[in-house]
């Protein structure tokens, strides 16, 4: 077993930078690429018994690329879900506004300013810790890891806070409030 660990350490030393750059090329965020690199190396280690001795570098690259693509898809899905949840009230306001006003640019601008102010007021009613994570993730486009680092907590804590913040929005924001 000791020989296997030494061989694996040598493998990591040889390909660490290459796999990091491969992952970074997909996710375009250093912290996420570092986290994913760790995950990829553990997947490689536990998958070595299934390795069929054909193109080691290609095999490792495929694991890294697949993991980075999965990560990017899940992050995109989370952003889409939150964006669509926030767009529904905005669309309702815009639809209500365009039916009662002409499509004059000034009237539309006034309506949008009123809507923006209403959303700001609603955001201030939200508990501060929910407001902070929602703003960081959906408006400032920070990663879970960046938010966790800024708040001195784990990524799991940030995931939980975002989930609870979305639940709070569903329970406390009603579409009628935006019409």
- This prediction's pTM: 0.46
Instruction: Measure the CA–CA gap between 22 and 153, rounded to whole angstroms.
Output: 28
Rg (CA), the chain: 23
Burial track 62-89 (b if 16+ CB lie within 10 A, e otherwise): ebbbebbeebbeebeebeeebeeebeeb
What is the DSSP secondary-structure string of 109-166? HHHHHHHHHHHHHHHHHS-HHHHHHHIIIIIS---HHHHHHHHTS-HHHHHHHHHHHH
pLDDT at 5 over 90: no
Neighbours of 165 (CB within 10 A): 22
Instruction: Read off the pLDDT of residues 44-94 as tens digits, 9 standing for 90 and up.
Output: 998 888 888 889 999 999 999 999 988 888 877 776 666 666 655 555 555
169 Cβ contact partners less than 8 Å away, ≥ 6 residues apart: 85, 126
Average pLDDT over residues 154-179: 78
Instruction: Measure the CA–CA gap between 100 and 27, rounded to whole angstroms.
Output: 44
Q: Does residue 59 or residue 138 have the better pLDDT?
A: 59
Instruction: Measure the CA–CA gap between 50 and 44, rounded to whole angstroms.
Output: 10
């Amino acid at each position: 077993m000791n020989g296997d660990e030494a061989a694996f350490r040598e493998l990591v030393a040889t390909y660490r930078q290459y796999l990091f750059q491969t992952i970074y090329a997909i996710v375009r965020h250093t912290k996420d690429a570092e986290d994913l690199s760790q995950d990829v190396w553990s997947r490689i280690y536990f998958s070595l018994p299934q390795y069929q001795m054909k193109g080691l570098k290609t095999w490792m690259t495929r694991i890294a690329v697949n993991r980075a693509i999965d990560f990017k898809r899940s992050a995109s899905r989370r952003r889409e879900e939150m964006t669509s949840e926030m767009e529904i009230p905005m669309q309702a306001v815009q639809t209500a506004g365009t039916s009662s006003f002409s499509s004059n640019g000034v009237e539309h601008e006034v309506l949008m300013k009123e809507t923006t102010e209403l959303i700001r007021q609603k955001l201030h009613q939200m508990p501060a810790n929910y407001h902070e994570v929602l703003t960081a993730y959906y408006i400032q486009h920070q990663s879970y890891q960046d938010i966790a680092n800024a708040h001195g907590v784990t990524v799991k804590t940030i995931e939980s806070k975002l989930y609870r913040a979305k639940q709070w929005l569903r329970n406390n924001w009603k579409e009628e409030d935006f019409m």
